């Protein structure tokens, strides 16, 4: 008698499915049932149990096992049913079948075309190795504090990615587990990985003793009723039905079942049952199933589950190298631009969003100046386009809300959590936010009990359908990318429906101007506002108040004087922020030093344009760089650790400044020439001399003090400002707020730029006739007379 499934066998023998399952798994079952199964299947029970070869089974126990009438547990040892149930393998079956189905597999799996690709691309030319997590991230029992410790911090921003977990190659997981479920977020590359497995297998590169069978479970469900994998495979390989049947029977197939989450909800129970029956009937074959991680609410007992990991930087670089094949410089440009922009870099950990970034960069060799444009395109892809492009219509709880309502709800959640400083949110808090929104805003007339149930279902749909909210641990969620939380928070502030009430949320935003965490929200809000003038004016007023609160009139007076001497009305704001950074960059950020000409200070390109024609400004830049290098910590020489090459950058800066000064200011050039000679003498001191002299640091400090005096005398730069810790903190806030304002100006319209730059030309708290009192040493550290005579700052 032939039985199609284990379920049929259990029904025929009137025993439980679990007993039959345990029999095939080599687990202990009752003696009577063991004999009954063996007899029905015409199997030699003593060979299957390997009782004669068991060294721990005494002869009397063997006899008792045969004659015992009680239904005690029967010891089944190392059962290998394949040698009894499977027919012998035909020698050329695999090779012959591969040859006949190669074209079919190539058509199904050999190419890839997604998003705006103009034509398909060969999969093996684009595929990047997939890494998997053995432990499903959402099933970890971690606290919020645990998750915060896991975050990578880049520019004080949390970098939410699961690369902190142990990762292993996806191919190794498939090789290790004959029954595997691969879970992943939307766009994580599940289908691409399955296609790669099929192509590797058909060429004999991977699992060379098997033949691949790739099946879309969505197609299976839509084919016919009743749902049958065997029927679908038979129809798919109609020309080779006999060979495929033999491969399945002999356990020589790699069954690749793609997109369980794509099966419509009403078809899913039938598909699940079909998979269970098929994997039981042809249990000796190799099975791999893919499914979105949050769409899985069932268990396949014999299957191991893994999760596709986010891309790390090496995978991103590998993908970019394969994508940009027509221009050798493009991959380098792309990666440089990407890694220099942490919010966009964060998106690239998702394969589908990385593909979008490559398509955008391929067209323009840059990313959009207005980041909101990029975020809107990415969100459109996740919330609508990605499923629509594959003709998927998910009948999930997410359909209770329109696309507009989903965006509005996510905006409210993002802003509320951002205001509270939360990167991670508890499930019950999110469900409450959904409940409140549907009750008050969407005005849903549903009973409270139903609203509770719907809130959980909607939350799950945000994770399963769009992947925008992700369960990072049991009951704890976050936005899939932190930059999406920033975008949705900005969207809530700049909501067009606010109309005349817009000033209130803008004022609340401006109150956060000294918090760097909010700066990306400012920049996105500027993008989203149809008229940013109101926000820019509020920012200007807040910065003026910061200056008043700081009580730093002497420094601000110097800044106004220096700016007035070097700027025009059209670039005054950029110039003041520029000199603020030149003078205090190294003081306020001793690790990075002065960035010098960072794009945030040159938002409209005016500084760069002036530098090309204004030698004075260019000279100030070179002198500021020279001072920054001179006071850098790596010039703190210790005996035995210093060589001339370590000061090469400073020597080069000295030379460049000297060459610039020769035509502009011969007196300055003469002083720089003296400094060049002195530095050369210091740098070439031998280690032996240093051991006996033991005053390298003093000599270096003397040289730096002389450099400052030269800069002060000739260019009104390089002052030693004596700020206490409180003043430094206030100055840094003022400094960062100015940087932010300039960057916001660069994103606004040109008319607004000119208006704001003129209004920023002077500070109301600064009296231009107030002399600047600069705190400086009038004698050098060794007590000697300064290289140049000091002059009073009020002559500047």
- 223 vs 54 pLDDT, higher one: 223
How far apart are the C-alpha atoms of 724 and 623, rounded to whole Å? 26
Window from 51-65, 190-204, 305-319, 769-783 with minimum mean pLDDT: 769-783
- Most confident range (mean pLDDT) of 8-12, 286-290, 365-369, 384-388 is 286-290
- 296 vs 405 pLDDT, higher one: 405
Confidence band, pLDDT 50/70/90 cuts, at residue 71: very low
**780, 786 in Cβ contact below 8 A?**
yes
Q: In what order do the strands lie in the sheet with 304-308?
A: 167-169, 131-133, 304-308, 179-184, 286-292, 253-258, 211-216
Window from 13-27, 97-111, 165-179, 194-208 with minimum mean pLDDT: 13-27
Does residue 310 carry a pLDDT above 60?
Answer: yes
Confidence band, pLDDT 50/70/90 cuts, at residue 749: low
Q: pLDDT tens for residues 681-704?
A: 776 665 555 554 556 677 778 888
The whole-number pLDDT of residue 399 equals 64
How far apart are the C-alpha atoms of 433 and 428, rounded to whole Å? 9
The whole-number pLDDT of residue 789 equals 33
Helices of type H across 716-788: 725-747, 750-759
Tokens of residue 125, six digits: 């030319």
Does residue 761 carry a pLDDT above 60?
Answer: no
Q: pLDDT tens for residues 360-413?
A: 998 889 998 888 999 999 999 888 877 766 666 665 555 677 888 899 999 999
**630, 691 in Cβ contact below 8 A?**
no
Q: pLDDT tens for residues 92-123?
A: 788 889 889 999 999 999 998 888 787 888 99
For residue 424, give every residue at least 6 positions away whose Cβ sits within 8 Å of its Cβ, in sequence order, or none.
144, 147, 148, 472, 476, 477, 478
How far apart are the C-alpha atoms of 80 and 97, rounded to whole Å? 26
Does residue 488 carry a pLDDT above 90?
Answer: yes
Does residue 540 carry a pLDDT above 60?
Answer: yes
How far apart are the C-alpha atoms of 152 and 419, rounded to whole Å? 21
Q: Around Cβ 251, how many Cβ atoms within 10 Å? A: 18
How far apart are the C-alpha atoms of 229 and 236, rounded to whole Å? 10
Does residue 777 carry a pLDDT above 80?
Answer: no
Percent of the chain with pLDDT over 90: 31
The whole-number pLDDT of residue 69 equals 40
**Backbone torsion region of residue 783, taken as left when φ is above 0, otherwise alpha when ψ lies between -120 and 50, otherwise beta:** left
The whole-number pLDDT of residue 4 equals 58
- 663 vs 158 pLDDT, higher one: 663
Q: Around Cβ 144, how many Cβ atoms within 10 Å? A: 16
Q: pLDDT tens for residues 566-612?
A: 766 666 766 777 787 777 766 655 544 444 334 333 444 455 565 66
Q: Around Cβ 666, how many Cβ atoms within 10 Å? A: 10
Find where tokens 């005398």 sit.
713
Q: What is the mean pLDDT of residues 329-343?
A: 92
Q: 190 burial class (0-12, 13-18, 19+ CB within 10 angstroms)?
A: buried
- 407 vs 450 pLDDT, higher one: 407
- Most confident range (mean pLDDT) of 143-152, 207-216, 626-635, 699-708 is 207-216
Confidence band, pLDDT 50/70/90 cuts, at residue 544: confident
- 583 vs 256 pLDDT, higher one: 256
Confidence band, pLDDT 50/70/90 cuts, at residue 764: very low
**793, 773 in Cβ contact below 8 A?**
yes
Q: What is the mean pLDDT of residues 605-621?
A: 71
Find where tokens 């690749």 sit.
256
Does residue 58 carry a pLDDT above 50?
Answer: no
Confidence band, pLDDT 50/70/90 cuts, at residue 627: confident
Does residue 52 carry a pLDDT above 50?
Answer: no
Q: What is the mean pLDDT of residues 197-201?
A: 96
Number of residues in the chain: 796
Q: What is the mean pLDDT of residues 646-667?
A: 85
Q: What is the mean pLDDT of residues 672-679?
A: 88
pLDDT, mean over the chain: 78
The whole-number pLDDT of residue 375 equals 93
How far apart are the C-alpha atoms of 382 and 393, rounded to whole Å? 14
Q: pLDDT tens for residues 158-189?
A: 776 654 678 999 999 999 999 999 999 999 99
Confidence band, pLDDT 50/70/90 cuts, at residue 550: low
Does residue 772 carry a pLDDT above 50?
Answer: no
Does residue 464 carry a pLDDT above 90?
Answer: no
The whole-number pLDDT of residue 792 equals 29
**90, 50 in Cβ contact below 8 A?**
no
Domains and CATH numbers, the chain: 6-85 (no CATH), 93-308 (3.40.50.300), 313-389 (no CATH), 405-493 (1.10.10), 643-715+767-796 (no CATH)
The whole-number pLDDT of residue 392 equals 67
- 44 vs 434 pLDDT, higher one: 434
Does residue 72 carry a pLDDT above 80?
Answer: no
Tokens of residue 169, six digits: 């190659």
Confidence band, pLDDT 50/70/90 cuts, at residue 306: very high
The whole-number pLDDT of residue 495 equals 82
Confidence band, pLDDT 50/70/90 cuts, at residue 758: very low
Q: 596 burial class (0-12, 13-18, 19+ CB within 10 angstroms)?
A: middle
């Amino acid at each position: 008698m032939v039985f199609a499934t284990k379920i049929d066998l259990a029904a025929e023998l009137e025993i439980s499915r679990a007993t039959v399952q345990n029999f095939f798994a080599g687990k202990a079952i009752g003696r009577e049932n063991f004999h009954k199964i063996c007899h029905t299947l015409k199997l030699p029970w003593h060979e299957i149990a390997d009782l004669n070869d068991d060294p721990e089974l005494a002869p009397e126990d063997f006899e008792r096992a045969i004659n015992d009438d009680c239904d005690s547990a029967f010891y089944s040892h190392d059962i290998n049913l394949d040698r009894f149930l499977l027919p012998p393998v035909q020698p050329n079956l695999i090779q012959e079948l591969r040859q006949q189905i190669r074209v079919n597999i190539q058509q199904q799996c050999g190419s890839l075309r997604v998003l705006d690709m103009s034509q398909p691309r060969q999969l093996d030319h684009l595929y990047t190795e997939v890494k998997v997590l053995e432990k499903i991230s959402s099933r970890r029992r971690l606290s919020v504090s645990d998750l915060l410790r896991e975050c990578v911090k880049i520019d004080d921003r949390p970098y939410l990615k699961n690369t902190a977990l142990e990762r292993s190659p996806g191919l190794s997981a498939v090789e290790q587990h004959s029954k595997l479920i691969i879970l992943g977020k939307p766009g994580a590359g599940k289908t691409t990985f399955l296609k790669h497995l099929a192509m590797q297998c058909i060429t004999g590169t991977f699992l060379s003793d098997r033949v691949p069978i790739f099946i879309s479970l969505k197609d299976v469900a839509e084919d016919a009723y009743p749902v049958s994998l065997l029927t679908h495979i038979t129809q798919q390989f109609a020309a080779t039905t006999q060979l495929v049947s033999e491969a399945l029977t002999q356990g020589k197939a790699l069954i690749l079942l793609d997109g369980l989450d794509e099966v419509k909800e009403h078809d899913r129970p039938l598909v699940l049952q079909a998979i269970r029956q098929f994997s039981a009937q042809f249990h000796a074959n190799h099975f791999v199933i893919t499914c979105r991680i949050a769409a899985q609410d069932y268990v396949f007992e014999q299957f191991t589950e893994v999760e596709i990991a986010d891309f790390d930087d090496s995978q991103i670089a590998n993908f970019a190298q394969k994508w940009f094949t027509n221009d050798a410089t493009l991959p380098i440009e792309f990666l440089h631009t990407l890694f220099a922009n942490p919010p966009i870099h964060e998106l690239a950990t998702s394969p589908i969003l990385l593909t979008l970034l490559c398509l955008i960069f391929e067209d323009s060799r840059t990313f959009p100046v207005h980041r909101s444009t990029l975020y809107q395109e990415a969100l459109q892809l996740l919330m609508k386009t990605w499923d629509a492009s594959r003709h998927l219509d998910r009948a999930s709880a997410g359909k209770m809300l329109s696309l507009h309502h989903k965006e509005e709800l996510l905006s409210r959640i993002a802003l509320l959590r951002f205001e509270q400083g939360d990167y991670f949110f508890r499930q019950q808090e999110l469900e409450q936010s959904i409940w409140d929104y549907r009750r008050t805003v969407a005005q849903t007339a549903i009973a409270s009990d139903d609203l509770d149930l719907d809130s959980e279902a909607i939350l799950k749909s945000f994770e399963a359908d769009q992947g925008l909210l992700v369960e990072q641990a049991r009951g704890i969620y976050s936005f899939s990318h932190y930059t999406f939380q920033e975008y949705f928070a900005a969207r809530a502030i700049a909501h067009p429906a606010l109309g005349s009430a817009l000033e209130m949320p803008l004022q609340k935003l401006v109150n956060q101007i000294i918090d760097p965490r909010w700066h990306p929200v400012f920049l996105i809000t500027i993008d989203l506002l149809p008229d940013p003038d109101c926000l820019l004016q509020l920012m200007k007023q807040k910065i003026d108040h910061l200056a008043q609160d700081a009580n730093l009139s002497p420094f601000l007076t110097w800044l106004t004087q220096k700016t007035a001497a070097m700027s025009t009305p059209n670039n005054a704001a950029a110039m003041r922020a520029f000199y603020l950074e030149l003078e205090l960059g190294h003081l306020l950020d001793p690790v990075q030093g002065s960035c010098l000409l960072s794009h945030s200070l040159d938002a409209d390109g005016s500084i760069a344009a002036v530098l090309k024609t204004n030698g004075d400004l260019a000279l100030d830049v070179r002198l500021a760089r020279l001072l920054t290098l001179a006071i850098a910590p790596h010039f703190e020489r210790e005996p035995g650790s210093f060589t001339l090459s370590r000061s090469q950058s400073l020597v080069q800066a000295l030379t460049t400044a000297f060459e610039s000064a020769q035509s502009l200011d011969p007196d300055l050039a003469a002083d720089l020439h003296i400094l060049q000679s002195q530095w050369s003498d210091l740098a070439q001191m031998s280690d032996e001399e240093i051991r006996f002299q033991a005053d390298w640091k003093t000599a270096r400090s003397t040289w730096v003090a002389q450099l400052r005096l030269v800069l002060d005398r000739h260019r009104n730069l390089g002052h030693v400002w004596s700020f206490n810790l409180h003043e430094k903190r206030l100055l840094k806030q003022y400094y960062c707020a100015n940087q932010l304002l300039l960057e916001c100006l660069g994103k606004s319209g040109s008319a607004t730029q000119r208006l704001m730059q003129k209004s920023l030309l002077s500070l109301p708290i600064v009296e231009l006739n107030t002399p600047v009192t600069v705190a400086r040493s009038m004698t050098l550290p060794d007590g000697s007379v300064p290289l140049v005579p000091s002059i009073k700052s009020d002559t500047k």
